Structure 1
Amino acid sequence: MTRAAVPPILLQLHSSDSVSSQAESLRTLKNELIGHDQRKETYVTSGVLPALAQVLSTYRPGGAASADPNGSAPNPVNYRTSSEYEVCLQSILIVGSVAQAGGPTFLAPIFASEILSILLAILSSPDCPQSFSLPILRLLNTIADRLPLQSQEQWPRDTRLADLVFSNENVGALRRIIAQDYDKLKNQACIELAAALIGKLCSEEVHKTTLAECGVLDALSVKLASFVVAQGFVLPGAQYHLQEPGALGELPAPAPASARLAPILRAITTIIEQSKWRAEHFLSSPGLVTVFPKQVPGFAAVDVKRGPWGSTYLSGSAVPRHPGANPVDHLLPSVPLTHEKSSPNSANFPPLGNSGSQRRQSHSYPTPFSLAETPSPEDDENSIIPWLMCILRSETGIARLMAARLVTVLFRLGLARKHRVPMFGFLLVPILIRMLDRDFKLPDEQGSNDDGLITPTQRAKEEAPAVLANLVMDDQELQKHAVNGNALKRLSQILKETYNPVAENLRSMWYAGGDSPARDPDTVSPECQLGPSGYSPTMCHIMRYRESILKALAALVPFKDEYRKSVCENGVVPYIIDSLKPRPSDAPADAVSMPKNSAADGNPTPTLLAACGATRMLTRSVSVLRTSLVDAGVAEPLFVLLKHHDLEVQIAATAAICNLALDFSPMKEAIISADIIPILCEHAHSPNTKLQIESLWALKHVVYNTANDIKMKVIEGLGSTWIRQVVSQDTSSAVRRNLDEETDQSAGVAMGRANSAGEQVDILNPMDDIDGMTEDFKMTDTPPSKMNLDMFLPDARRRRRLVLRGTIEQSTQTRQDDIAVQEQTYDLIRNIICGPGANEMIDFLFKEVGQEEFLDALADNLRPRSIQLAHRRENPTRAIQVPVEILSSVSALVIHIAAGLPRHRQLLVSHKDLLVSMVGHFNHPHREVRVSCVWVVINLIYEEDQSDHEGCRERAARLKELGVIERLVSLEEDSDLDVRERTKTAVHLLNTLTS
């Protein structure tokens, strides 16, 4: 195989003996490459990227040009001559030109080289010239725009660029760039490019946390505040709070008219998504605190008295005055109440036509309030919420969509008032639905294109359905507004349109020999090899659009069967099933001129995840499951996705199969006959707890009311060792680990979180105690009057709170996942030992798992326990409540064992700890636990035939000895009717057998 000749300019660059000749060669090379993709391919395969990396490495921080002449320590980059400056600049521009060519094809050699690391080191240098920052940021955005969609093995999820940009060494450059003033056009461009880069790349939790902790989020908040100042939305009286702790010390300079708000909003939203702690960190940032100071109740002037020595005090009748409505709220229109929430306490606005005396509280003027009118904690809402609603009504471009996205995220995180739901329904939902129209077009197409690949209108269309999905998720009132706005029909129509063939004018590069020059991968370095082409920009847009539409459909139909039937009536189910088909791994990667959006072409990984979610929501309907989904063949593609190489796809497919495995589902037999049970058992052994939970949930449905041979197959597939390990897991072990990790942290940090039933199952102190940090971490110094870069580093107290809350959130989620795995395992075993043939399955379970080991595990999970707190001088022992999920599952399992044969009942009674541990839960706060305890008593002493009469008497005597009668008497006046009725039965049986 012959090696292609090296272009003369590249040879000249290698042989240059002076900086000026290097600069001249680079200028010539740049002019020759711009606009010529074929030449770029030739130069890349000839080694231009390693050559440029070598040139740039000379001038990077720590390179030869920046080394200390008296030692080896690196100095900041100092371009002593114009030629050195020109060499760097031309090299950066050439790399940017190469990145713009051919889509993802040219990204592989760029990533394989050291160029990105070198350029980020230059960008992170304290004295990086502005003329370098701009092209480097453009280059990084160009690469981010062209990252291929995650699909088969040849296009895995690529976070290499994000890992570099958001690393500890380089993330400070983003903070420095964003913290610049808007005083120059170059500064403005750099700020917007840095913010846009965050919005495109930041998807990992670790990166979001880094951006919050290092001050980038605070810097973005100051930029947002500058728009608030420019638009005149600063709250009245904010000037009197400038010197308070946490404020900037002065109002930020107003943003110029040419500055763009959309990149700032997108970056902020991307960072705070899916984390209430990061969102609260944003709301407490100096920028927002300065322009939106918190309103506190005040006192009338007549109530403030002055003492003889000049001190002030309040009169005995002083009552704080409610600050009234947020001033920004007065700029928003009134909207009618919905019928479901017509009470004055749950609504934001009164019905249309009400008189002024009946206006909503937020529209009234400040008045003294009584104790009955004391605002609830929910009313403590940041003024950014109504400001974003004003932006929604005043802006027309991408900024409107980004404002909708940010206010939706804050609402989903519980940081907006619940009674704003009518406002969202009447003001926000119609705006998002309007963006679904075929003729929708943004009025400001020019000058607002972020990537140069698709138009802003296309970008808005592909993102609007996802924003709508996040807004209406789990809220039936907002779902009703969207459905009444014809959202289902529009979404169904545009989903069908994403499958219409799209012919593109793209053509492969022309070569004299007919094909591209062959390169031997064994002899050519990776930085000289082109990568796969990936999807074209149009195909990427269509796939992202399809994904967003599927998310919206899934979010609209989870609760109402009529909505799911409407989706079927619109004829969209076959297209949802087609969206479950992955892209073939053997699909040609270089046929860019052919459309790739048909059902046969498959879908990238994000679309598969969204399609699984939509399918799961549709399977909630019995009628849809038995008709439309069966006709469309939903089972087969889901079975394929169970073996997908991506773990998230496996989780999503398993979650969808859970509903297919229900007893009434016609596809339950298909799951069994297709030999899916071994796959589910294998997934249950996965180290990923989410996949474990979904797999156990699916198996729980499969074994219900199924033949015993299938149940035995499940037990054997899971393995006796694995079952013993899960059921014997100590749910308090995670508590001990958390306490050990937090020993050196603040003693007041909370370790608990409410479980699914609303109980504080976790641990120690309420979450609000996190605000009561030790005095060492409270900011007491007055902020300087002049803003500087150091101000964008969170102060010690805010940063500590953010880190601790993030750690607590992660550890709490881990513990809840462990509890869920154990809960689902117990529920699975319960379904195995119930129904026809239950006695046989109880014996089989005891034989496989071990009778004593299994009963010991049940008793241990019912036993109350406590832990030793070595770092506490007072009360070193702390009781830990058993999670109510585990109590309910274990007690339900005991109920079914007690419903078995007399010898099974005798095993329970004769166990040394099982019933003793259960007696302590008869007065548990949750009714499910109380009624389960009573059912255990009933099943243990219920006489099915005369042969078991003596056994029932013995078991009743044992229960009486344990003090069960006293416990039952305390439940005779229980607040729950079911508990009272079951208690009557249990008391009657006990009295009859023990009299």
Structure 2
Amino acid sequence: MTRAAAPPMLLELQNPESAGAQTAALRRLKNELIGHDQRKEAWIGWGIVPVLSRVLSLKRASGKHAAAGERNGAGGHSDKTSRTEEEEACIQAVIILGSLAQGGPAFISPILSSEVPSHLLAILASPDCPQALVLAILKTLNAIADRLPLQSQQQWPKDTRLADLAFSKEYIGCLPRIIGQNSSSLTTQSCIALAASLIAKLCTEERHKTALADSGVLDALAVRVASFVVAQGFVLPGAEEHVRDPGALGTLPAPAPPSAKLGPLLRAVCAIIEHSKWRAEHFLSSPGIMTVFPKQLPEFAPNDIKKAPWGSTYLSGFAVPRHVSLHPIDSILPSVPVGHAKSTSGFPPLGPQGSYGKHSHFYNSTFSFLESAASDDDENAIVPWLLYLVRQESGIVRLTAARFVTVLFRLGLAKRHRISMFSYLLIPILIRMLDKDYELPDGYDSEQDGLIPATLRLKEEAPSVLAMLVMDEDELQRAAVEGGAIKRLSQLLKETYNPVQDNTKPMWSAEKDSAEARQDVSPELQLGPPGYSPMVCHIMRYREGILKALASLAPSKDEYRKAVCDNGVVPYIIDSLKPRLGEAPDTASAAKNTAADGNPVPTLLAACGAARMLTRSVSVLRTSLIDAGVATPLFELIKHRDIDVQIAATSVICNLALDFSPMKEAIISADILPILIEHAHSSNVKLRMESLWALKHVAYNSANDLKIKIIESLGPGWIKQIISQDPTQLLNKPNVDEEMGNGSPLGMGTSNSAGERVDLLNPIDDEEDEDSKMTDSLPTSKVSLEMFLPDPARRRKLALSGDLDQRTQARQDDIAVQEQTFDLLRNIICGSGASEMIDYLFKEIGQNDLFDAIADKLRPRTVQVPGRRDSSTKSIPVPTEIIIAVTYVIIHLAAGLPRHRQLLTLHREMLRFLMGFFNHASPKVRVNCVWIVINLTYLDNESDRQTCQERAIKLKSLGVMDRLVSLEDDPDLDVRERTKTALHLMESLVPL
């Protein structure tokens, strides 16, 4: 069937007689298309997108002439009568594009395939763009951003074409200009809210977040957030006296008008600072926040302040600063019982928590503030302000404030004494949002995309916030469990598998062109895939958040894991491990949410996290998980095309491969080993580390032929290369210490005593010089782009911090791979047949090469500190994880045959280097050193007595007796008991 002939209106749009005629035709087309998807489809085929792109390009070209003009944020004139025909035609074209985008994800493809997005952003970035056009463009861009996940997120990596354009150097400058406007008009405030919403929807990649912080968007958002602080009357007392200090705005921001919306601003800030302490500190040190929430200065008692004869004041020699432990805003928050959270101090806070009375009277105390930034331990007053919002606001503002304060807490920017407050104030509210009957107030403005009701959007995001809040915090987990979180989340997970009643019907069309016939058609002239319905996407995100919350609630308590199983959700977690089919549905209405329909990548990742949490329990692993068939989907996910899914599935298989697991044999018999070995050679370091971890568990207590197969498949040469790397080599990178102004920007870490994998290193907080003060106060008479560009010192700090984060992560990954490789070797040479495997390793890897690699990890090393006048050197300790792994290997080598022990003592450096670790800070390292002495001096039979005495003499000559004596009173019981044994063996062989 041939396509219908193009209407006359198309010719009129392509070749208009005048600008007025073109505008009139666009208005008629707008009225014809709104609400009619079939007409939209027909006009797409007739080429309306290229026509609209041409209309926008004319406005874009005219805007270039004014590019050199000052960008004052006013956005040009906005009165309809003063708009030119060209501007009016442009507005009509933008509205039509927005109407097309609202047709669904199928209409997004032709728009993104054209030059429309770049034209829209270019017009938005032009200094003479009228406010009405700015508003229309932002609405259209938000409509496109709303529907991008419907098109791509469920199956493929997110479509970032629009984000890449919007956050490029060419166009990103328009965002702080729009957000920084001071007008209280409804149009201006709508533009600010839409710009913030666009950022929150598109900002998903690390590069985008960095660009937004560096370009001044984060500072512009901070000023807008500060305007709400002013409007609500929460400016800290005394702040007015410091508004002209370096780093401040010069004056208090104007109060936010009633038409302003706080929710989109908080959401945008969260999207940018999430997972980055550096960006969060950048926000907290921005001029807007520093103006309304200056740093507090420790107070002194009146008797400590003395007056000199010439009139000036000074502090007495006995003056002791009294740090104010609470912000004034804390006084209007409900009092909560003090929990047992970990504290840096061994003493309770002195004095009562303070009671300032009602809201109108809590400013009675006087506070003074520092001109410069205080220590990193200080908590910004935005934390109690956000908690106040959680208590007083409703809907999305409440949830976003909860998310914001949770992000700050996870990044270490909220004090740990807040844990009790979170338990009593924050967690009950989040759990309440999970109730079926939870509804938003009547007439509530959702500030959302409108694709789903605001109440559903709220319930969708609440589990994710709860998961982030309780992660790795026993007290918060206990509060959530006692509040019934597991029971409610379990029921909600089951309900996500109820079939969706989707009333959406496929769009009927009389033309059924085949796919072959449309291959030659330009992407701008045809619809894209229909994608998924908003409700199905909502349920997938809801399911993802619920799975995250369940995984975060029960990582360490077996009773919590049992509660999860008792609520009958294990089969649903297993169903969540099933991926979606490779092909998208033919129609959006065909996409359902049952177990047979499978799950998108984000849900698969969350399900792997929940499954891994359950596999930590021996009883659950041997009963519920086996009955539910957890292994089958995991064996498929390990081969998934998405590498993040492979990593997550492998992390679960690590626990399934434990020696007590009944599924260990299933892993071996299911030909999973070749996949693990292939992934161990992956260029992705995390996949390599997880695969080595799983192989380590498989090798433990396995037959020698399986161990040999693992070594041969990995490659002895590859293993030798991994274990020979210097784990401290990244510390020798030039200019890192010099740029950061810190002698040791990277810190060592400790392993989890429970044996579970956690962050492998805990970097020491950066102690760089506080150089975050702005040189001049910023003018407030007008808003300009330059006003929101961070000063050079703050931009340099942000860039260096991001670079340091990347280098630290790279170093952690390298250390993790080397640690797991040594652990694999340890499991290879333990158990029955260990001596044969030691000989096998000596043959394949090389005895000298293996010993040299081990000795190199024990070798003390120093690095010359660059940029120092004294050319000093600094000791670089080897990470504790590596030392523990290496000493375990030595322990098992020393447990071998007498000739293996003799070879250890004959090495020229290994034992000498080992002597330096008997007083290591980690008790695991100390006890391992003692175990090495025990194994080297243990007498198997009388025929070995002479060589055993020789080893004992060698150890004594190295000073091991003195080191053992120093450990007799060690604070660790295991170290003390093993030391007794080692001393007894040494004294029996080498009498004093």
Compute the TM-score of the two structures, normalised by the length of structure 1. Answer: 0.92
Contact 1:748 1:772 in 2 (8 A): no
Most deviating of 405-414 and 27-36: 27-36
310-319 or 888-897: bigger deviation? 310-319
Q: Cα 1:758–1:768, aligned 2, differ >3 Å: closer, same or farther? A: farther
1:682-831 map, 5 Å: 682-737=678-733, 739-740=734-735, 743=738, 745-748=739-742, 750-756=744-750, 767-773=765-771, 778-784=773-779, 786=781, 788-789=783-784, 790-831=786-827
CA gap 1:224/1:950 in 2 versus in 1, 3 angstroms:
same
Q: Distance in 2 between matches of 1:765 and 1:91?
A: 52
Could you report, residue by residue, the CA deviation over 1:138-165 in whole angstroms, capped at 9, with x for unpaired residues? Answer: 1111111111358799633222221111
Q: Are 2:547 and 1:559 aligned? A: no
Q: 1:450 corresponds to which residue?
A: 448
What is the CA distance between 1:334 and its match in structure 2? 1.4
For 1:851 and 1:945, locate their aligned partners in 2 and report how far apart those are by CA, in whole Å.
25
What pairs up with 1:408-807 in 2 under 5 angstroms?
408-513=406-511, 515=512, 520-586=517-583, 589-594=585-590, 596-737=592-733, 739-740=734-735, 743=738, 745-748=739-742, 750-756=744-750, 767-773=765-771, 778-784=773-779, 786=781, 788-789=783-784, 790-807=786-803
1:757 deviates by: 5.2
Q: Give the 3 Å change call, closer, same or farther, for CA 466–189 of structure 1 in structure 2.
A: same
Residue 235 of structure 1 is matched in structure 2 by 236
Question: What SS class does the counterpart of residue 890 from structure 1 fall into?
Answer: helix
Counterpart position of 1:401: 399
CA contact (8 A) 2:964 2:979 kept: yes
Q: Deviations over 1:343-392 (max 9, x none)?
A: 997889xxxxxxxx9743687999999xxxxxx97972211111111111
* Cα distance, 1:500 vs structure 2: 0.7
Counting matched residue pairs gives: 967
Counterpart-to-counterpart distance in 2, 1:342 and 1:990 = 43
Distance 2:532 2:760 in 1: 47
Name the CA distance, whole Å, in 1 between partners of 2:130 and 2:240.
36
User: Where does 1:32-181 land on structure 2 (aligned, <5 Å)?
Assistant: 32-60=32-60, 63=61, 65=62, 82-101=84-103, 103-148=104-149, 155-181=156-182
**CA, structure 1 residues 154+567, in 2 after alignment: closer, same or farther (shift >3 Å)?**
closer
- Tell me, what secondary structure is at the counterpart of 1:313? strand
Q: Helix, strand or coil: the match of 1:722?
A: helix
3-state SS of paired residue (1:90): helix
Would the aligned equivalents of 2:580 and 2:598 in 1 still touch at CA under 8 Å?
yes
SS of aligned partner of 1:878: strand
The one-letter amino acid paired with 1:98 is: L
8 Å contact 1:504–1:595 — kept in the other structure? no
Output the CA distance in 2 between the equivalents of 1:281 and 1:454. Answer: 34
Contact 2:338 2:420 in 1 (8 A): yes
Distance of 2:470 and 2:326 partners within structure 1: 26
Counterpart code for 2:42: T
Residue identity opposite 2:479 in structure 1 = H
Residues 651 and 690, structure 1, Cα contact 8 Å, conserved in 2: yes
Flag the 1:925–1:426 CA change in 2: closer, same or farther, 3 A: closer
1:24-60 CA-to-partner distances (Å, cap 9, x unmatched) read 3323322222221112112212322222223322321
Q: After superposition, what is the alpha-carbon deviation per residue over 1:938-981, rounded to whole angstroms, capped at 9, x for unaligned?
A: 21232212222222233233333433334334434434333333
User: What letter corresponds to residue 382 of structure 2 in structure 1?
Assistant: I
Q: How far apart are the structure 2 equivalents of 1:341 and 1:972? A: 30
Aligned partners of 2:264 and 2:742: how far apart in 1?
A: 38
Distance 1:224 1:264 in 2: 7
Q: Report the aligned-residue RMSD.
A: 3.1
CA deviation string 1:455-496 (max 9, x = no partner): 110100000111111111111111111111111111111111
Which moves more between the two structures, 613-622 or 419-428?
Answer: 419-428
Q: What's the offset of the Cα at 1:273?
A: 1.0
User: Identity across aligned pairs (percent)?
Assistant: 61
Supply the AA of the counterpart residue of 2:982. A
Superposed, 1:873-888 pairs within 5 Å as 873-888=869-884
Deviations 1:224-269 (A, max 9, x none): 1111111111112221121222111111111122322111111111
Query: Could you list the runs of 5+ residues in structure 1 that have no partner in the other structure?
Result: 349-356, 370-375
Tell whether 2:844 aligns with 1:848. yes
Distance 2:595 2:633 in 1: 12
Q: Is the 8 A contact 1:778 1:796 kept in 2?
A: no
Output one character per residue of 1:525-581: Cα deviation in whole Å (capped at 9) or x when no partner. Answer: 222232211110111111111111111111111121111111111111111110110
- Residue deviations 1:474-527 (CA, integer Å, cap 9, x gap): 1111111111111111111111111111121111112235x3676634311222
Bigger CA drift: 908-917 or 19-28?
19-28
**How many Å separate the matches in 1 of 2:835 and 2:426?**
58
Separation of aligned partners in 1, 2:801 and 2:284:
15
Q: Work out whether residues 749 and 770 of structure 1, in 8 Å CA contact, stay in contact via their aligned partners in 2.
A: no
Residues of 2 paired with 1:691 and 1:712: CA distance?
22
Counterpart residue type for residue 12 of structure 1? E
Deviation at 1:988, TM superposition (A): 3.4
Q: For structure 1, which segment, 695-704 or 516-525, has the greater mean C-alpha deviation from structure 2 after superposition? A: 516-525
Quote the offset at 1:82 in angstroms. 1.8
Q: In the alignment, is residue 938 of structure 1 matched against residue 934 of structure 2? A: yes
Quote the offset at 1:67 in angstroms: 6.4
Is the contact between residue 223 and residue 289 of structure 2 (CA under 8 Å) also seen in structure 1? Answer: yes
In structure 2, stretches of 5+ residues that fail to align are 368-373, 754-758
User: 3-state DSSP class of the match of 2:917?
Assistant: coil
1:768 deviates by 4.6
**Matched residues in 1 for 2:205 and 2:331: separation?**
39
Deviations, residues 674-716 of structure 1 (Å, cap 9, x unaligned): 1111111111111222112211111111111111122122112
User: Does the alignment pair 1:955 with 2:957?
Assistant: no
Task: Give the conservation status (yes or no) of the 8 Å contact 2:249–2:291.
Answer: yes
Q: Report the counterpart of residue 756 of structure 2 in structure 1.
A: none
Distance in 2, Cα, partners of 1:672 & 1:50: 58
* 1:832-981 → structure 2 map (5 Å cutoff): 832-981=828-977
Question: How big is each residue's C-alpha offset from its partner over 1:780-833, in whole Å with a ceiling of 9 and x where there is no partner?
Answer: 434445463333222222222222222212211211111111011101110111
Q: Do the aligned partners of 1:642 and 1:650 also contact (CA within 8 Å) in 2?
A: yes
- In the alignment, the residues of structure 1 paired with residue 415 and residue 69 of structure 2 have an alpha-carbon distance, to the nearest angstrom, of 53
1:640-688 residue CA offsets vs partner (Å, 9 max, x unmatched): 1101111111111111111111111111111111111111111111122
Cα 1:119/1:652, change in 2 over 3 Å: same
Report the CA distance shift for 1:826/1:763 in structure 2 as closer, same or farther (over 3 A): closer
Closer, same or farther in 2 for the Cα pair 1:368/1:176, shift >3 Å?
A: closer
Per the TM alignment, residue 604 of structure 1 is displaced from its structure 2 partner at its CA by: 0.8
| Deviates most, 698-707 or 74-83 | 74-83
Contact 1:622 1:665 in 2 (8 A): yes
Counterpart CA distance in 1 for 2:519 and 2:426 is 57
Check the 8 A contact 1:66/1:78 in 2, yes or no: no
For residue 418 of structure 1, give the secondary structure of its aligned residue in structure 2.
coil
Shift of 1:595: 5.4
Per the alignment, do residues 844 and 40 of structure 1 end up closer, same or farther by CA in structure 2, a change over 3 Å counting? Answer: same
